[in-house]
């Protein structure tokens, strides 16, 4: 079953069109990757899904045409966006950031269970539960941003460069949690990454963007076998 489908999606900032017809789909419990150089349009593609940029073409989620939906409406349908640069609330504690993530939910038992899940996925956050988010390390802030998204109980998570600026071992830990989230909780994902090895550790298929167009698409194994992908993204 397809959960999310983009068909010929375009996006513009003012008069500047930056996406020129992007198409891909993500099945339920599946994970799709978006690779590409700086400025290729990866973040804009996630913004188009979340309703944060003027968009054309068609975006279908769970059988419903959501093209042009506002961000709050997209979120209410079960799509959580973890933005580039993380966007945690610095003046609030870790605990309160996680509560904010769950603010639309009324199932208190479910919220408590998901809090346990987050602290199990990210043990660092358990130790820092009372600390202000602004006092966390970069890696801990990334963990908190993902955990906050989990607290909304999404069916689909949009992850924008979750490894950016992290030490390799921290990035590995973050991606281990992302893989568990998919395999144990069945959350579907769109994973934007410049680190293709990390992206390929979780996605089944991916597209490569070049100046707002899809230059390549295929299964993880097909893409990892291509010389041009190996040269550009896998260090040889
Ligand atoms: N708010 C904005 N207003 C105008 N142009 C923008 C805005 N945000 C991005 N752009 C432009 O849109 C294009 C795509 O940017 P986008 O942020 O989607 O790229 P990206 O693939 O995520 O890059 P990076 O890897 O650097 O994060 C770029 O040319 C960028 O300059
Ligand atoms: Mg980006």
pLDDT at 43 over 70: yes
Instruction: Judge if the beta carbon of residue 36 lies within 6 A of ligand 1.
Output: yes
Q: What is the pLDDT of residue 13?
A: 97
Provide the pairing of β-strand 54-61 with 31-36. Answer: unpaired
Is residue 117 domain-shared with residue 187, that is, in the same domain? no
Instruction: Give dist(CA 186, CA 158) in Å, integer.
Output: 14
Q: Which atom of ligand 1 is nearest to the CA of 84?
A: 27
Query: Mind listing the pLDDT tens digit for each residue in 126-161?
Result: 999 999 999 999 999 999 999 999 999 999 999 999
Domain end residue (candidates: 118, 146, 174): 146
**Quick one: average pLDDT of 154-179?**
95
Instruction: Judge if the beta carbon of residue 22 lies within 6 A of ligand 1.
Output: no
Distances in Å between the Cα of 80 and the Cα atoms of 17, 98, 130, 224, 233 are 25, 13, 24, 28, 27
Of the candidates 154, 155, 177, 161, the one whose C-alpha atom is nearest the C-alpha of residue 86 is: 161
Instruction: Judge if the beta carbon of residue 154 lies within 6 A of ligand 1.
Output: no
Is residue 142 domain-shared with residue 46, that is, in the same domain? no
Query: Mind listing the pLDDT tens digit for each residue in 9-19?
Result: 999 999 999 99
Q: How confident is the model at residue 232 (pLDDT cuts 50, 70, 90)?
A: confident
Query: Mind listing the pLDDT tens digit for each residue in 17-34?
Result: 999 999 999 999 999 999
Is residue 182 domain-shared with residue 74, that is, in the same domain? yes
Domain end residue (candidates: 93, 127, 146): 146
Distances in Å between the Cα of 116 and the Cα atoms of 97, 112, 121, 122, 194 are 14, 6, 9, 10, 30
Pocket test for ligand 1, best of 34, 41, 84 (most atoms within 8 A of CB): 41
Is residue 70 domain-shared with residue 180, that is, in the same domain? yes
Pocket test for ligand 1, best of 10, 17, 44 (most atoms within 8 A of CB): 44
In this structure, the chain runs to a length of: 236
Q: What is the pLDDT of residue 236?
A: 66
pLDDT at 86 over 80: no
Is residue 159 domain-shared with residue 72, that is, in the same domain? yes
Is residue 159 domain-shared with residue 59, that is, in the same domain? yes
**Closest protein CA for atom 16 of ligand 1:** 41
pLDDT at 85 over 80: no
Structure tokens at 131: 């600390």
Pocket test for ligand 1, best of 17, 40, 160, 214 (most atoms within 8 A of CB): 40
Tell me the CATH number at 70. Answer: 3.40.50.300
Q: What is the pLDDT of residue 118?
A: 97
Instruction: Give dist(CA 111, CA 78) in Å, integer.
Output: 15
Domain end residue (candidates: 130, 146, 162): 146
Instruction: Judge if the beta carbon of residue 55 lies within 6 A of ligand 1.
Output: no
Instruction: Judge if the beta carbon of residue 43 lies within 6 A of ligand 1.
Output: yes
Query: Mind listing the pLDDT tens digit for each residue in 203-230?
Result: 999 999 999 999 999 999 999 999 988 8
pLDDT at 166 over 70: yes
Is residue 178 domain-shared with residue 195, that is, in the same domain? yes
In sequence order, what are the residues at sequence separation of 6 or more whose Cβ sits closer than 8 angstroms to the Cβ of residue 198?
162, 163, 171, 172, 175
Q: What is the pLDDT of residue 169?
A: 94
Q: What is the pLDDT of residue 90?
A: 82
Is residue 137 domain-shared with residue 228, that is, in the same domain? no
**Closest protein CA for atom 17 of ligand 1:** 43
| 3 state DSSP class of 142 | helix
Of the candidates 163, 201, 206, the one whose C-alpha atom is nearest the C-alpha of residue 182 is: 201
Instruction: Count structural domains, the chain.
Output: 2
HSE of 136, CA atoms in CB hemisphere, 13 A: 30
Q: What is the pLDDT of residue 76?
A: 94
Give just the sign of the alpha carbon dihedral 208, 29, 126, 50.
positive
């Amino acid at each position: 079953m397809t959960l999310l489908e983009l068909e010929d999606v375009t996006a513009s900032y003012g008069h500047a069109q930056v996406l020129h017809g992007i198409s891909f789909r993500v099945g339920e419990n599946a994970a799709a990757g978006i690779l590409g150089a700086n400025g290729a349009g990866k973040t804009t593609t996630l913004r188009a899904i979340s309703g944060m940029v003027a968009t054309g073409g068609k975006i279908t989620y769970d059988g419903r045409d959501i093209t042009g939906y506002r961000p709050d409406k997209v979120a209410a349908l079960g799509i959580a966006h973890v933005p580039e640069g993380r966007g945690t609330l610095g003046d609030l504690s870790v605990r309160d950031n996680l509560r904010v993530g769950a603010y639309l939910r009324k199932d208190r038992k479910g919220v408590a269970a998901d809090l346990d899940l987050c602290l199990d996925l990210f043990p660092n956050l358990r130790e820092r539960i009372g600390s202000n988010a602004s006092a966390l390390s970069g890696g801990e802030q990334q963990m908190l941003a993902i955990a906050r998204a989990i607290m909304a109980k999404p069916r689909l998570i949009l992850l924008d460069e979750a490894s950016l600026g992290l030490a390799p071992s921290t990035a590995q830990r973050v991606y281990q949690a992302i893989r568990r989230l998919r395999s144990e909780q069945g959350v579907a994902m769109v994973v934007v990454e410049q680190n293709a090895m990390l992206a390929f550790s979780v996605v089944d298929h991916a597209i490569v963007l070049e100046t707002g167009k899809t230059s390549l698409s295929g299964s993880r194994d097909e893409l990892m076998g291509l010389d041009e992908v190996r040269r550009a993204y896998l260090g040889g």
